[in-house]
């Protein structure tokens, strides 16, 4: 049982992904539920906060994009029930406000997905390296680097050096409980699968409708 369905969790099963993080929504007829997606994204921001104050720029960027999408959503919750419809409506009107916000939110989520996938793979193969900075750099290179100019890349280089070590991250994910790695990794695996399905659909959606941008920031 997870926090999202109101079930009571035993201490051994209670971790960030079961007690705090809302899983990302299931894809319904090729569409993503807006309210559910935004709530899940807010959970990722909570996780980013736990990386430390140096990650504040990442947190504020994600939070700002979530707020832009939320502000548009509440203007007509029925019309914008699905992210797809919100974005296509703006495209028809010739705007880019929420389209750009979702683009950058998706890229940030993709970055964290790739980072945590590295952590999961490292646990599975038994390596369990304490230094997670290489994973952060690998995820950045594969997702965000191509869209960042020199200044943004330098900022990331500074931030990446402050990445928590593996044992500290696991303690955070287990909500302070020792010896919960196996349970945490199972929950992480489930979470990443749901997140990835949302990311991949959005990538395809943006490509299909000509909404991708290679502009660097």
Convert the pLDDT of each residue in 126-142 to its tens digit. Answer: 888 899 999 999 999 99
Tell me how many degrees the CA angle 102-103-105 measures, rounded to the nearest 5: 60
Q: How many domains does the chain have?
A: 1
Task: Please state, for a pLDDT cut of 90, what percent of the chain lies above it.
Answer: 84
In a domain? residue 12: no
In a domain? residue 34: yes
Instruction: Look at the chain and count its residues.
Output: 217
Is the pLDDT confidence value at 19 over 60?
Answer: yes
In a domain? residue 170: yes
Mapped onto helix, strand or coil, the DSSP state of residue 140 is: helix
In a domain? residue 113: yes
76 vs 190: CA distance, rounded Å: 32
Q: Phi and psi at residue 82, in whole multiples of 5°? A: -115, 140
49 vs 189: CA distance, rounded Å: 21
Structural domain of 183: 24-208
32-36 mean pLDDT = 98
In a domain? residue 201: yes
How far is residue 140 CA from its own chain's centroid?
13
Per-residue pLDDT, 127: 86
In a domain? residue 14: no
Convert the pLDDT of each residue in 151-162 to its tens digit. Answer: 999 999 988 999
Confidence (pTM): 0.93
In a domain? residue 10: no
**Complete DSSP assignment for 168-205:** HHHHHHTTT-TT-HHHHHHHHHHHHHHHHHHHHHHHHH
How far is residue 31 CA from its own chain's centroid?
18
Choice among 8-12, 41-45, 66-70, 213-217 with the minimum mean pLDDT = 8-12
Is the pLDDT confidence value at 2 over 70?
Answer: no
In a domain? residue 59: yes
- In CATH, what number is assigned to the domain containing residue 117? 1.10.3520.10
140 vs 135: CA distance, rounded Å: 9
Per-residue pLDDT, 11: 63
Per-residue pLDDT, 108: 97
């Amino acid at each position: 049982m997870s926090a999202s369905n109101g079930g009571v969790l035993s201490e051994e099963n209670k971790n960030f992904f079961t007690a705090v993080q809302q899983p990302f929504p299931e894809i319904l007829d090729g569409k993503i539920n807006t309210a559910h997606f935004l709530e899940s994204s807010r959970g990722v921001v909570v996780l980013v906060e736990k990386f430390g104050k140096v990650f504040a720029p990442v947190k504020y960027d994600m939070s700002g994009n979530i707020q832009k999408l939320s502000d548009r959503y509440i203007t007509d919750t029925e019309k914008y029930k699905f992210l797809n419809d919100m974005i296509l409506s703006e495209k028809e009107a010739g705007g880019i406000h929420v389209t750009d916000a979702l683009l950058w939110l998706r890229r940030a989520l993709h970055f964290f997905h790739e980072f945590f996938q590295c952590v999961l793979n490292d646990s599975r193969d038994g390596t369990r390296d304490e230094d997670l900075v290489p994973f952060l750099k690998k995820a950045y290179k594969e997702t965000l680097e191509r869209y960042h100019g020199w200044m943004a890349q330098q900022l990331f280089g500074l931030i990446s050096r402050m990445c928590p070590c593996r044992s500290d991250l696991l303690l955070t994910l287990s909500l302070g409980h020792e010896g919960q790695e196996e349970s945490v990794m199972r929950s992480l695996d489930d979470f990443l699968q749901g997140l990835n399905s949302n990311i991949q659909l959005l990538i395809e959606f943006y490509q299909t409708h000509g909404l991708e941008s290679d502009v660097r920031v």
